[in-house]
Every structure is written in structure tokens, then in C-alpha cells.
């Protein structure tokens, strides 16, 4: 079975990559398929919620200063000691 990897990119999107991306199926909350670019070898899924191309990442996270949960928690803890 080909390996598919999902990487949580620091303060950025989820990166989905693998040997057989044709086997990756994305569905919305109603079970409808979401078609990525059929030639894609890497999928970038939005984590910040601000992308205009959801569920795909459009780079907005870097413009709005998105911080992943781990980093945001560390900053919160520092500010509230």
C-alpha cells in the first residue's frame, strides 16, 4: 500500500503528500467529493480558516499572522503567568 503522509506545517497548512495521490479523497461535511488538481503531487489544506480557496491553502495564513495551536498556547501561557 502506498504511503500517504499528512504533515502539520508550523503556522501553516496541512501538507498531504504521497506516492499515489489519486487515492486521496477529500469530502465536505455532507460527503460530497472535493476535487483537487488531478496532477497535484502535494495538497495544502487550510488550517487558519481565512483562505479564499478553502479547503485548500492560498497563503493567507502568512498575511494574517496565523499561529498553530501549539505556538498560540505557548504565547498565551507566557502572557498569563
Tell me the pLDDT tens digit for each residue of 6-59. Answer: 999 999 999 999 888 888 889 999 999 998 887 888 999 999 999 999 999 999
Map out the domains of the chain with their CATH numbers: 4-79 (3.40.5.90)
CA dihedral (19, 22, 23, 24) positive or negative? positive
CB atoms within 10 A of CB 48: 21
Distance CA 25, CA 33 (A): 7
Q: What is the pLDDT, as a whole number, of residue 1?
A: 62
**DSSP alpha helices (H): ranges in the chain?**
60-64, 69-79
The helix or strand, by DSSP H or E, that contains position 43, with its residue range, turns out to be: strand 42-45
pTM of this structure: 0.80
Mean local confidence (pLDDT), 67-80: 82
Q: What is the pLDDT, as a whole number, of residue 24?
A: 87
64 or 23: which leads in pLDDT: 64
Amino acid at each position: 500500500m502506498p504511503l500517504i503522509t499528512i504533515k502539520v506545517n508550523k503556522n501553516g497548512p496541512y501538507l498531504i503528500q504521497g506516492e499515489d495521490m489519486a487515492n486521496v479523497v477529500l469530502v465536505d461535511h455532507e460527503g460530497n467529493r472535493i476535487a483537487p488538481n488531478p496532477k497535484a503531487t502535494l495538497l495544502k489544506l487550510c488550517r487558519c480558516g481565512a483562505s479564499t480557496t478553502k479547503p485548500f491553502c492560498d497563503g493567507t495564513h502568512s498575511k494574517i499572522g496565523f499561529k498553530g495551536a501549539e505556538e498560540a498556547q505557548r504565547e498565551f501561557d507566557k502572557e498569563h503567568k
